[in-house]
Structure 1
């Protein structure tokens, strides 16, 4: 639908449509972040046998995160005297911009995708790693030892877990023969890749949690060790940009997991009457719930445990999965 509209429109109108869709996507993502945080708090409250937000905005606390956003926007913006001012100001933008850029190639349904490029999976992997530069820059520019340690941890963590994350996707590429996300969804029309690549799914989920800097891999912002980590010197809307980046990536990662392993918008047999958008939403919500469940369940690991697990466990298992997938595919092709 969107593709046909863009192809038939004149160039100037085409630009206007793209701009309008980008603004629409921004509002959708901001809405997700606002009520995704509220949903996370409610789920955590349910799992920990407590109520969660329930005061602002009626019984369910629907305006709690809206109030939090307003509070952050009007808080005093302070910049440390000895900070590297240009880099300090630029760091939150560097962290957020790639988070929004990766959404451009993610297909939400067959008719709703902003840019269908042939290497959408490669584009996501390449762009998503840029956010770490913003975190490292924030740690360095703050001229604070705690911030710098948090930034260095983020860089080490990204390098350590980006490799097994990419390796876990090689099996899917071998089975589909394409880096196009739409092709990957189409191949899963009958069988989802979570059943054909269960090891890759587990590795991908673990590595994606590490990429998101969430518990149990939130070493870059470990409050008990680094006060607040790389953003300890940030306040107000600049601090909000870092949190916004984290939750936008959470939105993107849940979407990518749905596309790669849960068949995207494909329905279960005999339930084809349910619209594709609802199928996608249900799968997306299940992944989001899983990410929150992991946060509530596991304690933070030590830095040495984090590195050892990435290099000594995830990477060898990911390589073994590629080898096993290639052998099985070759055996199946012979018959």
Structure 2
């Protein structure tokens, strides 16, 4: 019965979070269209072209799967799966609601999530090197430099919350969260969100793709379903970063009638952060490489370190 209960819990939470990437993708299409006054196709689906994302998925399935002659075939074919699977694993440790509404509660859930999110750079490097394409290789090198830099403020900001809560367990962090954290952990919130955008290579941190410079970066040689897997990994990455931000800094499932509606508050907070991710894509131009590194090392890292010192001081003062 324990294994059956675990399987049902993991399955329910996974399905709940797997639906979100598709909703985020559809929302991005429609929100960007309205923000930029270009509504796009309205024919797929009876209401507002709601089925356009499904139509795009069918199109990808029908496209020919091409592997370049000079590519390293096994590595080239494996890279999209390596990009997608780590994000799906992270979803298992994010609490959707109070109690046992989490795929797999871990005492080191935060450490697990941060470690697995960092695997994304491996998939990018696999795709870049195996494609035998100079634009793909340049995109991979950009991604490596970007992710190695932004991993530091990303982890430091998360460590501030872990120190404040006194645990690495994500469910316990949410349980011990208090509303006043919104104020004194605000710098860490901003650092975590911005570094998270860079981690998943979302605009304005999409230099590894930079279609005006690198064709499509490390994804240049991909077609069909493998290209679709990379796009799906991007949307799952948005859900992961949004859910982690909501869990660590916004109180997760906390809200009115949390015992019965906690899952709803968690989904609403995750959706609100995902909307900000989409808005950043529309509102901000792509940074230059020097601006990217300057933002990381001269702004985000010092702010994250200062927040860590403040959290340590508060913990000692309250002890």
Question: Normalization by structure 1: what TM-score?
Answer: 0.90
Give the length in aligned residue pairs.
318
Comparing 228-237 with 35-44, greater Cα deviation is found at: 35-44
CA contact (8 A) 1:42 1:53 kept: no
Task: Say which of 204, 214, 227 aligns to 2:192.
Answer: 204
2:166 maps to which residue?
177
Deviations 1:195-226 (A, max 9, x none): 23000001001000101101000011110010
Deviations 1:146-195 (A, max 9, x none): 0001111111111100100101112212211100111111112x415322
Where does 1:1-335 land on structure 2 (aligned, <5 Å)?
9=1, 14=3, 18-19=6-7, 22=10, 24-25=12-13, 27-110=15-98, 111-188=100-177, 190-191=178-179, 193-268=181-256, 275-333=261-319
Give the Å deviation of 1:286.
1.1
Deviations 1:205-248 (A, max 9, x none): 10001011010000111100100000100000011111111111
Q: Find the aligned partners of 2:130 and 2:14 in 1 and give their Cα distance.
A: 28
Q: Find the aligned partners of 2:287 and 2:101 in 1 and give their Cα distance.
A: 39
Give the Å deviation of 1:59.
2.6
Q: Find the aligned partners of 1:273 and 1:34 in 2 and give their Cα distance.
A: 27
Give the Å deviation of 1:30.
4.2
Comparing 273-282 with 37-46, greater Cα deviation is found at: 273-282
Give the Å deviation of 1:32.
2.3
CA contact (8 A) 1:161 1:207 kept: yes
CA contact (8 A) 1:192 1:263 kept: no
Root-mean-square deviation (Å):
1.9
Q: Rate the CA distance shift 1:30–1:121 in 2: closer, same or farther, 3 A.
A: closer
Q: Find the aligned partners of 1:56 and 1:100 in 2 and give their Cα distance.
A: 28
Q: Find the aligned partners of 1:264 and 1:65 in 2 and give their Cα distance.
A: 28
* Structure 1 SS opposite 2:95: coil
| RCO comparison, higher one (Cα < 8 Å, 6+) | 2
Question: Normalization by structure 2: what TM-score?
Answer: 0.94
CA contact (8 A) 2:17 2:91 kept: no
Q: Find the aligned partners of 1:70 and 1:265 in 2 and give their Cα distance.
A: 35
Q: Rate the CA distance shift 1:239–1:192 in 2: closer, same or farther, 3 A.
A: farther
CA contact (8 A) 1:146 1:229 kept: yes
Give the Å deviation of 1:23.
5.2
* Structure 2 SS opposite 1:178: coil
Q: Rate the CA distance shift 1:20–1:187 in 2: closer, same or farther, 3 A.
A: closer
Q: Find the aligned partners of 1:287 and 1:251 in 2 and give their Cα distance.
A: 9
Give the Å deviation of 1:308.
1.7
Q: Rate the CA distance shift 1:52–1:259 in 2: closer, same or farther, 3 A.
A: farther
Q: Find the aligned partners of 2:107 and 2:260 in 1 and give their Cα distance.
A: 29
Q: Rate the CA distance shift 1:22–1:181 in 2: closer, same or farther, 3 A.
A: closer
Q: Over alpha carbons, which structure has the higher Rg?
A: 1
